[in-house]
């Protein structure tokens, strides 16, 4: 059977492109539909029920576009809504997990720093992830990074403001001996070069994009949903201002893109 349905991927904005590019690398034949919810970013400082409502509205939209799987390319939305999405939608839901486990395994100093949004660090999921490392020798330090998502949304990947924020957020982690940094927000891999420059060559920087892409492949293979070999396409939608967002998205994606405005959320849903 030919599987022509796309994979639906979303984030509060352009951050999830760091996951989308890994999915594209892992699955070159798939069609990908990406929603950048930039009109509602950042999620990291919003209440949980707000993020849940956005996740449900976007999941409805993606299933209306026939998505055969949903990828929550956002750590904050994962903490707030992944369980709810799994309960409500009849498709595989693949979500993020900060790369704490590989970081603990690789760290030589035994001190790992996690950079993420306030909401991610306050989530039950993150508490459970930390608890799974209790009793080991590793020390896992969490650092919230308010303001960074906004810099990436503005396309400022190396300007003075971004540098000043990152310098302040890295300092307490590096002072306490962190030699491995986990990027626990999908916007931050777009800043990976700057983070490495500021942290120095002895510090390793990890994110979970590639692991999530492998998980997408596994779930599609298990459920018989992998696409037949052919050229995969990408379609981008945004709740933000497409004219403002286009240059940032196209630069981060590295190519010309097809970007359309996200229609307003409908009242009611087939899935609720």
Residue positions annotated with a catalytic role? 74, 185
Choose, by CB under 6 A, the member of 30, 71, 93, 120 that binds ligand DGL. Answer: 120
Three-class SS of residue 212? Answer: helix
Choose, by CB under 6 A, the member of 6, 42, 113, 189 that binds ligand DGL. Answer: 42
Residue 75 within binding range of ligand DGL, rule CB under 6 A:
yes
The DSSP secondary-structure symbol of 227 reads P
Using the minimum distance from each CB to ligand DGL, give the nearer residue, 125 or 227. 125
What mask of x and - would describe binding to ligand DGL in positions 92 to 111, judged by CB under 6 A? Answer: --------------------
Residue 114 within binding range of ligand DGL, rule CB under 6 A:
no
Choose, by CB under 6 A, the member of 43, 89, 236, 253 that binds ligand DGL. Answer: 43
Q: In whole angstroms, what is the distance from residue 29 CA to residue 39 CA?
A: 30
Residue 123 within binding range of ligand DGL, rule CB under 6 A:
no
Residue 44 within binding range of ligand DGL, rule CB under 6 A:
yes
Binding region for ligand DGL (CB under 6 A) out of 9-17, 156-164, 168-176, 241-249: 9-17
Choose, by CB under 6 A, the member of 76, 107, 208, 238 that binds ligand DGL. Answer: 76
Rounded to a whole number of angstroms, the distance between the first and last alpha carbons of the chain is: 30
As a three-state string, the secondary structure of the chain is CCCCCCEEEEECCCCCHHHHHHHHHHCCCCCEEEEECHHHCCCCCCCHHHHHHHHHHHHHHHHHCCCCEEEECCHHHHHHHHHHHHHHCCCCEEECCCCHHHHHHHCCCCEEEEEECHHHHCCHHHHHHHHCCCCCCCEEEEEECCCHHHHHHCCCCCCHHHHHHHHHHHHHHHHCCCCEEEECCCCHHHHHHHHHHHHCCCCEEECCHHHHHHHHHHHHHHCCCCCCCCCCCEEEEECCCHHHHHHHHHHHHCCCCCEEECCCCCCCCCCC
Show the DSSP H helices in 27-159 as ranges: 48-64, 75-88, 100-106, 118-121, 124-131, 148-153
Using the minimum distance from each CB to ligand DGL, give the nearer residue, 149 or 259. 149
Closest distance between ligand DGL and the C-beta of residue 185, in Å?
4
Please tell me the count of residues contacting ligand DGL according to CB under 6 A. Answer: 16
Using the minimum distance from each CB to ligand DGL, give the nearer residue, 96 or 227. 96
Which residues, 124 to 183, sit near ligand DGL by CB under 6 A? 149
Which residues, 14 to 33, sit near ligand DGL by CB under 6 A? 15
By Cβ distance, which residue is nearest to ligand DGL?
44
Choose, by CB under 6 A, the member of 41, 69, 80, 191 that binds ligand DGL. Answer: 41
Using the minimum distance from each CB to ligand DGL, give the nearer residue, 182 or 227. 182
Which residues, 181 to 200, sit near ligand DGL by CB under 6 A? 185-187
Closest distance between ligand DGL and the C-beta of residue 187, in Å?
4
Angstrom distances, CA of residue 44 to CA of 57, 78, 176: 18, 11, 25
Q: By the criterion CB under 6 A, which residues form the site for ligand DGL?
A: 11-12, 15, 41-44, 74-76, 117, 120, 149, 185-187
């Amino acid at each position: 059977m030919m599987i022509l349905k796309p994979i639906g991927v979303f984030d509060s904005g352009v951050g999830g492109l760091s996951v989308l590019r890994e999915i594209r690398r892992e699955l070159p034949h798939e069609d990908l539909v990406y929603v950048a919810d930039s009109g509602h970013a950042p999620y990291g400082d919003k209440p949980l029920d707000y993020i849940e409502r956005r996740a449900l509205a976007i999941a409805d939209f993606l299933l209306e576009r026939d998505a055969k799987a949903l990828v929550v390319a956002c750590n904050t939305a994962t903490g707030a809504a992944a369980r709810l999405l799994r309960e409500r939608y009849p498709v595989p839901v693949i979500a993020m997990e900060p790369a704490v486990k590989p970081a603990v395994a690789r760290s030589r100093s035994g001190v790992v720093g996690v950079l993420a949004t306030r909401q991610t660090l306050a989530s039950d999921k993150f508490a459970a992830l930390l608890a799974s490392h209790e009793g080991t020798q590793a020390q896992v330090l969490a650092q919230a990074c308010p303001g960074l998502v906004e810099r990436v949304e503005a396309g400022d990947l190396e300007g003075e403001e971004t540098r000043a924020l990152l310098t302040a957020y890295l300092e307490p982690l590096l002072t306490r001996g962190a030699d491995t940094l986990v990027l626990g927000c999908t916007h931050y891999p777009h800043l990976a070069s700057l983070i490495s420059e500021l942290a120095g060559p002895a510090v390793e920087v990890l994110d979970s994009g590639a692991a999530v892409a492998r998980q997408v492949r596994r779930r599609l293979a298990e459920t018989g949903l992998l696409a037949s070999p052919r050229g995969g396409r990408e379609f981008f939608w945004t709740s933000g201002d497409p004219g403002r967002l286009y240059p940032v998205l196209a630069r981060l994606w590295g190519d010309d893109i097809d970007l359309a405005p996200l229609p307003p959320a409908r009242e009611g849903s087939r899935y609720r």
